[in-house]
Amino acid sequence: MPTIGLFNGSPRAPSNTSAIVAYVQRVLSASHPSLVLDVADLVRSPGHPLPPTLVGLPAARTLADVPAGYDEERLFPEWAGMHAALVTLGGAGGANAQTAIRAVLDGTHMASPAKRVEITLEQPYAYNMIFATGDEEWLAEYEGDFVEAVNELLALVDKRQGAKAAATANTAVQAA
């Protein structure tokens, strides 16, 4: 199984996103036990810092450095042709964020599973009056969506790796 990154893309602390990422990790670890998940908080994780600005910071890592070693995460041109599944959340499921991020992915020629995972937060969570812990019963309704999106992602990975192998074999035949 490939190694994939599971990113917490929210810079907020505390946030609902951290709990959702932990929940998704538990679901995927159970449904895909041989899948290697690298869980990273793009702002706070050791080894995965993403400063608000990269200009003038000689020791700062760039977003292109963060996903080094993942089978399916890179930044353009490193991200071009790779794949990404999205999980968004918010009062309306993060639908606008999902659409905007998919447009960016399309611009980098990244394939995304057709399955849109959009977690609709109830009002107290959506307005940050309380924060999710990752143990909420209402998260269970999204488990099938997480698994379906990752299955589609893995199918895209297999297809891409098969195309790479075929291209390599074709090149070897042409060279002979």
The answer to which of 8-12, 42-46, 49-53, 127-131 has the lowest mean pLDDT is: 49-53
Quickly count: other Cβ atoms within 10 Å of residue 157's Cβ.
18
Q: Which residues contact 116 (CB under 8 A, 6 or more apart)?
A: 86, 95, 98
* Between 161 and 129, the higher pLDDT residue: 129
Question: Per-residue pLDDT tens for 1-43?
Answer: 678 888 888 877 788 999 999 999 999 999 999 998 888 877 7
Per-residue model confidence (pLDDT) at position 58: 42
Per-residue model confidence (pLDDT) at position 173: 60
Predicted TM-score (pTM) of this structure = 0.75
Q: Is the pLDDT of residue 117 over 90?
A: yes
Dist CA 74 CA 3 (whole Å): 12
Q: Is the pLDDT of residue 74 over 80?
A: no
Our CA angle for 14, 73, 20, nearest 5°, is 30
157: left (phi over 0), alpha (psi -120 to 50) or beta: alpha
Q: Is the pLDDT of residue 172 over 70?
A: no
Per-residue model confidence (pLDDT) at position 60: 42
